[in-house]
Structure 1
Amino acid sequence: MPVHAFTMQLKPGFEEEYKRRHDLIWPDLQALLNDSGIEEYHIFLDEKSLKLFAFQKLKANHTTQGLPQNPIVKKWWAYMADIMETHEDHSPVEIPLKEVFELQKND
């Protein structure tokens, strides 16, 4: 299963608001992410640096490439732009991460 891992940056003072907004994720956004091939999506916060670490487990034939053009995604980005670092189009500044280790289960 492909994995997409990346970091983003939260603005100071918005830790609780970021969590609150994600706890109330819009049903249409959740459905879109699931339908695009995202099996799991986890976001972790380093409370000292306010760095967000995210990873997505993707289905083999995922269709996430079209997500940035989707109106629901663009609306979410605009909704989140006041509390995190973004580009001019409100997309989050994402720094992709390279996988350097994976622990395999021994059978």
Structure 2
Amino acid sequence: MLRKAFVMTVYPQYYEEYEKRHAELWSAMQEAIKAHGAHSYSIFLHPATGQLFAYLEINDEQLWDALASTEICRQWWAYMAPLMETYANNQPVSIDLKQVFHLSR
């Protein structure tokens, strides 16, 4: 299993809407995330900065990366684009984080 973490940014006036939309995550998007190998996926908000910290556990990096090319993912990005920093194609601007420590049981 691989652990991934990255940061994104949501605009302050949309914190509640961002959370609401994720609470109502489309079933097709949930299925796509799982089909692309995610076992666990969490997003945390730092309210003072608008920074989102995302953490997920996956099976395969290539399988996970393929999610970005699916129609449902592109639709989700377009739906979320007004709420956060994105590239021209609506993909969220995200910065991968380097793991520097891990403790497990």
Return the TM-score normalized by structure 2. Answer: 0.95
Deviation for aligned residue 1:104: 2.7
The unaligned stretches of length 5 or more in structure 2 are none
The reply to whether residue 41 of structure 1 matches residue 41 of structure 2 is: yes
Q: What do the CA deviations read for 1:1-31 (whole angstroms, capped 9, x no partner)?
A: 2011000000121110000000000000100
Q: Secondary structure at the match of 2:52?
A: strand
Alignment RMSD: 1.3
* Paired positions, count: 105
Partner Cα distance (2:104, 2:66) in 1: 31
Residue type matched to 2:14 in 1? F
Q: Secondary structure at the match of 2:22?
A: helix
Deviation for aligned residue 1:61: 7.6
- Residue aligning to 1:28: 28
More helix by share: 2
Partner Cα distance (1:58, 1:88) in 2: 27
Residues 68/62 of structure 1: CA separation in 2 closer, same or farther (3 Å cut) = closer
Runs (4+) of structure 1 exceeding 3 A deviation are none
Q: What do the CA deviations read for 1:32-91 (whole angstroms, capped 9, x no partner)?
A: 100110000000000100100001101258711211110000000000000000000000
- Residue aligning to 2:80: 80
- Residue aligning to 1:17: 17
Residues 100/17 of structure 1: CA separation in 2 closer, same or farther (3 Å cut) = same
Residue type matched to 2:11 in 1? K
Q: Percent identity?
A: 37
Structure with higher Rg: it is 1
Residue type matched to 2:30 in 1? Q
Return the TM-score normalized by structure 1. Answer: 0.93
